[in-house]
Amino acid sequence: MPYGSLVTGQMVAGLRRLGFSKVFDTNFAADLTIIEEGNELLHRIRTGGELPMITSCSPGWIKFIEDFYPGLLRHLSTCKSPQQMFGAVAKTYYAEKTGVDPR
């Protein structure tokens, strides 16, 4: 398989062979994060909020800002990371739709 090949389908097939009945990725949640960050940016622009706004889409990035540039913390978006966004969607919307207890 050449370097850079997309293997999503193979990963899903492998996980299903191992017994997983559901396999999710965070692409949808990343889209939700982008939408929320866009809305937050528009709100900041309209209301004179803190600019520039810095993305908060990576927990590692947030930790880097906290440790090395704490003066920029007020510029971070308040949006959840795609991982956190997916967790919230899975525990609310998906759990409700499938009748799964999210606890």
Mean pLDDT (10-residue bins), the chain, 103 residues: 88 96 89 96 98 94 97 96 91 89 82
How many Å apart are CA 84 and CA 71, to the nearest integer? 24
The reported pLDDT for the residue numbered 62 is 94
Boundaries of every domain in the chain = 23-98
Per-residue pLDDT, 25: 86
**Terminal Cα-to-Cα distance of the chain (whole angstroms):** 40
Q: What topology does CATH give the domain 23-98?
A: Fe-only Hydrogenase (Larger Subunit); Chain L, domain 3 (3.40.950)
- Spatial neighbors of 51 by CB under 8 A, at least 6 apart, are 44, 45, 75
Instruction: Locate the DSSP E strands across 5-101.
Output: none
